[in-house]
């Protein structure tokens, strides 16, 4: 697979000339247990020198994840509760996309379950399945013990609610609407360059870490290769690796 990264490297060269800082982070969803795919993921994180933040499904979290996250290359976070779809018929999938009885208890139980499993290694950041969450639940997250929220697309503001920092993801290489596989690389690169230009011209929050979103359990070889090349290109061009766990007291 031959990919033309020149539009991205040209944009990053402008960032370098203008002494701009681009922190990047990596989020991977749906972790439940150790596996060959997860080992490949954390191995790539170590090779790149960029920690991967694992959105762990609490209800199904297996103790084998403790060893995976007991080190510098995997940072556990809370991925909903059971990754069940509770959306109304005809609506886009979501576990916490609309008010329902017991939802707040599930969010609290998810945090408690993973705190018991990972202790201080857990980053108290809530990642709603399918990146959708009702505004009422957002407001409740700080009282439940969460410090942050992560969905998809550029954040509208640094704080999603008082005491709750939002740090989203912006790149997803999986062609979900096409049934899986890799989104055409040229389209992803164009969207990434547009994101960086929006930051540079003040149309988006330039302080938000740029986030890559992956799902290790459904990667094919092309997705793995694109992920490595995309992150490697950004890092080689001057982007700064970001471990949100190191920033718990002062999240971006």
- First-to-last alpha carbon distance for the chain, in angstroms, is 35
User: pLDDT digits over 151-179, tens only?
Assistant: 999 999 999 999 999 999 999 999 998 88
Distance CA 129, CA 175 (A): 17
For a pLDDT cut of 90, what percent of the chain falls above it? 92
pLDDT recorded at residue 252: 59
pLDDT recorded at residue 112: 98
Kindly report whether the global pTM for this prediction surpasses the value 0.85. yes
Are the beta carbons of 69 and 75 closer than 8 angstroms?
yes
106: alpha, beta or left? (left if phi > 0; alpha if psi -120 to 50): alpha
pLDDT recorded at residue 71: 87
- In the CATH hierarchy, which top-level class contains the domain 6-247? alpha beta
State the pairing for strand pair 164-166/159-161.
Answer: antiparallel
- The band of 245, judged by pLDDT with boundaries at 50, 70 and 90, is confident
pLDDT recorded at residue 244: 87
Mean pLDDT of 185-208: 97
Q: Is the pLDDT reported for residue 249 higher than 70?
A: no
Mean pLDDT value across the chain: 95
């Amino acid at each position: 697979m031959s990919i033309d990264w020149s539009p991205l490297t040209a944009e990053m060269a402008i960032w370098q000339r203008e002494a701009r800082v681009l922190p990047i982070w990596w989020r991977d969803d749906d972790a439940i247990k150790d596996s060959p795919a997860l080992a490949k993921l954390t191995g790539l994180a170590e090779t790149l020198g960029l920690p991967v933040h694992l959105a762990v499904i609490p209800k199904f979290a297996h103790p084998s994840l403790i060893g995976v996250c007991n080190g510098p290359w995997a940072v556990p976070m809370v991925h909903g509760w059971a990754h069940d779809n509770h959306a109304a018929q005809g609506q886009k999938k979501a576990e916490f996309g609309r008010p329902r009885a017991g939802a707040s208890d599930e969010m609290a139980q998810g945090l408690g379950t993973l705190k018991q499993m990972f202790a201080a290694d857990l980053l108290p950041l809530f990642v709603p399945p399918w990146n959708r969450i009702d505004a009422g639940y957002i407001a409740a997250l700080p009282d439940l013990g969460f410090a942050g929220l992560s969905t998809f697309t550029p954040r509208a503001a640094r704080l999603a609610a008082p005491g709750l920092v939002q740090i989203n993801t912006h790149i997803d290489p999986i062609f979900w609407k096409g049934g899986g596989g890799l989104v055409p690389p040229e389209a992803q690169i164009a969207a990434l360059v547009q994101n960086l230009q929006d930051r540079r011209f003040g149309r988006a929050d330039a302080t938000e870490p740029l986030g890559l979103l992956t799902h290790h359990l459904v990667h094919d070889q092309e997705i793995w290769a694109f992920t490595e090349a995309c992150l490697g290109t950004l890092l080689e061009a001057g982007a700064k690796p970001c471990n949100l766990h190191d920033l718990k007291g002062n999240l971006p």
